[in-house]
Structure 1
């Protein structure tokens, strides 16, 4: 089964739910008209379909070669990477002064979803490079930018992010890697783990961004600096020269993403790896966190992309597989006609669409926060970005695991057989809930940094927007849309979010641990309620198209059916999660760690 880039759905969301035409009114985006963006996405879709998707299953089967510290990529991957960089897809949002297209984040978000949906293991390489480019463009001095940025934007060189260490995990205050000043550079020593694409054979040079401590650095997170540590030191002509003192010690044997090298990297086994300071000393973690919004958005897009591919694979199989009879007497019938299979597929697609709309709205707010002419509007959108990003990251990736699991279920016993390929989505999806901050970390970020810190200001703003959607439904005409259902559900979504925020603000006064115990439940409430809002807006827009006879009526009715499917099958669980948040948090606090440990 071939992956098909979901361009029709994406274009509809951009035009009807994300004010695509307004992008060209922002400073620097004048050339990005809807027609231009549609053409760009069409080409991106072709690349995803024709180049990346055919390598997805093959890469999973082939895996990686590793010998003497060198990683060999699967068959066809180097050629695909060459095609990627020649087409300019390596870093589309990078500034034109460094060779990028300067695309809006909203448009790049669409491209990243398409490429992740086609082949998540492959797209991890450009994704990491894009993060490194963002860091250097924002914080490196011009001399460092002149050496590295153009080659990274072009894709001649790749980039990585080196944060985690064996003893530290997610607690970066425990980073021990050292950076000792010498002449115009630093000598880096230490070990980093879980470094995605830390070593591979698709580029001439790999530029590692490494967190390390200077000799006089304070303890904790305030004493971490960021360094550029290239695999090969650039020579006088800017080409890869002598090898730096670093090596890939091993690659991980993982549950999924088998074609993506996850490396343990050793720096400074001999005299020390040569590195160059990015920005100011002791501000490395601050620089990294400044990029977290885009990084976590991109991981959410991985979840959405995998979910879309899993859904397509399951729907295709269900259309071809004939078994049993249905109510009209047809026997054997394609199983897609069976009500329970239709239920599974409908829920899968509805969840994916809700997450997609939410991610694209978050991406639009990133563009608005950076470029809107009015300072108050920029500030409001930045609050919206801060609130939505942990939800996009956590909800979209957990959704992907659920959708991929259902895809296996649609296949029945054949789904549990690796040869069909559907199990790969289940295995690949799981890592998205872990890296760039686990689901629990995202939930705590949502509660602690995003809701409690501003005392619910951003929440009140989004609740206001949801209620505005509900009130606008009163103007919808007669037709396929159940206006009362949609309006009632939108108000319920606003109520659930509002009640969650009110409970958190009160609970922190009683016991500071209660909001953390409730964090996962809060995340679920937000994920389901915000997705319901997105799908309700989608259904309302589809109803307007249907009312005027615009285009394919079946497509617009399908959009309405997806919203109804989500409201009836997924959204009711949000109320249960609110109850869990209110009551279950106390039982979590009451659990004794010593007793839990005895079970082992």
Structure 2
């Protein structure tokens, strides 16, 4: 069974040539992200991912996390790997220096996090949730909460979770019923149950800091009455040492399709005396604060889609190189060849390769825009970049994770019957990838957010500006000769036209018939993802061709052009059909009476 190898060459290309690492390093607070430092960070991360995390992926899946008497034991090797992970400073990579972090830009941490997710999806979820909790506390926590929790969370000594979902609520957070009763000392007692809590209980860290949504006695109904609380597994003494065990326990963990080594906990708060919690920010603003975590997590989950594409591709490619079967097509009596020589296998591998590169490029570009939105000196530039990030986060989350499932499924197909056998590892990638389309908001939730909050609310202004950037590439593509660039230009132009037509329809229809617009929300999200990915692939092809024209003999660059051509012919070509589903497909979605299902 092959192990993960970090695709450093493509990561460096996406960071430097597409995301603009040099420009990010010029932002205030990002000056340390020099090319040499970033290369060193990526190389060390690759060693950790390949040497520590990847070898635990298969064994962790087979053994799984185990619950016993309200405690969870992680699979063999995970506790030791996490200690090494924290001791090596990886938990602090993107955190602010004030709390012991290294303060590197998001675009750098995105590349590093992709490696963790490809090497070991289950392991990567623990630092993902902790990072979101850290960000929420940094932005909304009191000075006392920050002083008590942040340094130890940044160092990795303590981990974090977010507790939203309840058995009767699901994705409907307005239905949250966990209650918070104020106490004389300013704390609260929390009573309720939460489900689907990733790493809600484990044995890798000394303390677990739960961020919990609950209602105070005077809270109004609906989402306007939700507050956010810090509820630690162990209470913290004034000197920072661990105190008494809090009344917050894992009563069981879920038995899941995939990510078996990641404990998905059912958490009970206050079954005995009440779990002690501390208000974060102001009462009744909890959902607003939780969205800070959710947006960070949604981008991180989008990277899981990128990682699934890459890991499934690597395993399928390696298998296709080694698997000897049949003679070359059209050759009678010849020797049997590796299946990578067969045209349909080659088509599948090119699909996998092109999706991995397109989803990665888009995610890194969005991460760089986030850095500009946070750090740029000019307010208007910050605003413009934030609008781009807000538009694209649902796409990075929704399209990338849907792509991850598709590509992992193709990986099973490349393996043939052996792909259905667990020992090859291909099936695990498919099982693990499926959850990424669901948690932190299903693809449908991402799509509704995209067409409603991110497009209709502003009349499609940001989408129009993105489309203008896409169209601006046409003149550069027109200057290139040859069949590859002719195809890329033609397919991209048609895809952008389809996106513009569908986008205008969504904005015009949303206010008049929200059900019709919502019926095409997921096809529109996929359309935007495919075209945005094609935009980045076209940019990559232009940059790569310029390297070739300048005399660079690295085969990496012509491969970039060919991969962009394949993406144009086989992926971008589907844009018109998706646009038609958006603009013409609503009637068929809603026409059948529910009794006829």
Matched residue pairs, number?
Answer: 593
Partner of 1:109: 110
Displacement, 1:193?
Answer: 0.1
1:342-381 alignment, distance < 5 Å: 342-381=346-385
| Change beyond 3 A, Cα 1:94–1:585 | same
Partner SS state of residue 189, structure 1: strand
Deviation per residue, 1:270-298 (Å, 9 max, x gap):
12100001111110100111333321110
Q: TM-score, normalised by structure 2?
A: 0.98
Is the partner of 1:450 in helix, strand or coil?
Answer: coil
Aligned to 2:246: 244
Aligned to 1:170: 171
Helix, strand or coil at the partner of 2:93: coil
Q: Return the alpha-carbon distance in structure 2 between the equivalents of residues 510 and 435 of structure 1.
A: 30
Per the TM alignment, residue 535 of structure 1 is displaced from its structure 2 partner at its CA by: 0.8
Paired residues of 1:471 and 1:487 also in contact (CA < 8 A): no
Distance 2:461 2:126 in 1: 37
Superposed, which structure 2 residues align to 1:277-292 within 5 Å?
Answer: 277-292=279-294
Checking the alignment, whether the CA contact within 8 Å between 1:196 and 1:262 is kept in structure 2 is: yes
Match of 2:94 in 1: 93
In structure 2, C-alpha distance between the alignment counterparts of 1:249 and 1:582, rounded to whole Å: 47
2:74 maps to which residue?
Answer: 73
Q: For residues 581 and 330 of structure 2, what CA distance do their matches in structure 1 show?
A: 42
Contact 2:226/2:287, CA 8 A, preserved across alignment: yes
SS at match of 1:333: strand
Asked if 1:156 is matched to 2:145, the reply is no
Alignment of 1:381-396 (within 5 A): 381-396=385-400
Q: How far apart are the structure 1 equivalents of 2:31 and 2:511?
A: 49
1:214 matched to 2:216: yes
Name the structure 1 match of 2:549: 547
Deviates more, 1:542-551 or 1:441-450: 542-551
Query: Matched residues in 1 for 2:210 and 2:592: separation?
Result: 42
- Once the two structures are TM-superposed, the CA of residue 31 in structure 1 deviates from its matched residue by 1.6
| Residues 1:411 and 2:424 are matched in the alignment | no
Indicate yes or no: 2:140 matched with 1:139.
Answer: yes
1:271 — aligned with what? 273
Structure 1: 5+ residue runs without aligned partners? none
What value does the CA root-mean-square deviation take over the aligned residues?
Answer: 1.2
Secondary structure in structure 2 of the residue aligned to 1:192: strand
Q: Secondary structure at the match of 1:90?
A: helix
Maintained 8 Å contact 1:323/1:332: yes
1:456 is aligned to 460
Aligned to 1:224: 226
CA distance in 2, matches of 1:521, 1:310: 24
Q: Which of 181, 186, 189 is the matching residue for 1:187?
A: 189
Is this contact kept in 1: 2:492–2:572, CA < 8 A?
Answer: no
Report whether the alignment pairs 1:443 with 2:447: yes
Shift of 1:200: 0.3
- Secondary structure of residue in 2 paired with 1:248: strand
Partner of 1:468: 472
Partner residue in 2 for 1:503: 505
Offset at residue 89 of structure 1 (A):
0.5
Q: Structure 1 residues 169 and 509 mapped into 2: Cα distance closer, same or farther (>3 Å)?
A: closer
8 Å contact kept, 2:491–2:569: no
Cα contact 1:132–1:209 (8 A) shared by 2 = yes
- Give the Å deviation of 1:483: 2.7
| 2:192 alignment partner, SS class | strand
Shift of 1:579: 1.2
1:513 CA drift (Å): 1.3
1:76 and 1:60 mapped to 2: Cα distance?
12
User: How many angstroms apart in 2 are the aligned matches of 1:220 and 1:201?
Assistant: 36
SS in 2 for 1:165: coil
Asked whether the 8 Å contact 1:469–1:490 carries over to 2, the reply is no
Counterpart in 1 of 2:22?
Answer: 21
Separation (CA, whole Å) in 1 of partners of 2:40 and 2:223: 45
Supply the distance in 2 between the matched residues of 1:91 and 1:578 (Cα, whole angstroms).
43
Q: Deviations over 1:340-392 (max 9, x none)?
A: 11110000110111111111111011111111121111111111001111011
Q: What TM-score do the two structures reach when normalised by structure 1?
A: 0.97
- The offset of 1:589, in angstroms, is 2.4
Displacement after TM superposition at 1:580 (Å)? 1.4
Measure the CA separation in 2 of the matches of 1:509 and 1:252: 40
For 1:29 and 1:336, the matched residues in 2 are separated by 43
Give me the whole-angstrom Cα distance separating, in 2, the residues matched to 1:483 and 1:588: 38
| 3-state DSSP of counterpart to 1:263 | strand
TM-superposed deviation, 1:107: 0.5
Kept in 2: contact 1:493–1:530 (CA 8 A): no
On the 8 A contact 2:209/2:232 being kept in 1, the answer is yes
2:515 to 513, 521, 526: 513
1:108 and 1:548 map into 2 onto residues whose CA distance is 31
| Matches for 1:574-585 after TM superposition, within 5 Å | 574-585=575-586
Distance 2:426 2:377 in 1: 47
Q: Contact (CA 8 Å) 2:492, 2:568: kept in 1 or not?
A: no
Contact 2:160/2:210 (<8 A) preserved? yes
Within 1, Cα distance between the matches of 2:508 and 2:579? 15
SS for the counterpart of 1:324 is strand
Offset of residue 327 of structure 1: 4.4
1:194 counterpart SS class: strand
Report which stretch shifted further, 227-236 or 284-293.
284-293
4+ residue runs over 6 A deviation: none
Distance 1:139 1:202 in 2: 27
Contact 1:91 1:126 in 2 (8 A): no
Per the TM alignment, residue 18 of structure 1 is displaced from its structure 2 partner at its CA by: 1.3
Q: 2:406: which partner in 1?
A: 402
Deviations 1:4-45 (A, max 9, x none): 001100101111111111122100111211111111111111
The Cα shift of 1:521 comes to 1.4
Instruction: Report whether the alignment pairs 1:121 with 2:125.
Output: no
Per-residue CA deviations over 1:58-101 (Å, capped at 9, x if unaligned) read 10011122110110000100110011001111131110111111
The answer to whether the 8 Å contact 1:161/1:210 transfers is yes
Structure 1, 237-246 or 337-346: larger mean CA deviation: 237-246
- Residue 501 of structure 1 deviates from its aligned partner by 1.3
- What SS class does the counterpart of residue 180 from structure 1 fall into? strand
Matched position secondary structure for 2:189: strand
User: 1:45 and 2:46 equivalent?
Assistant: yes
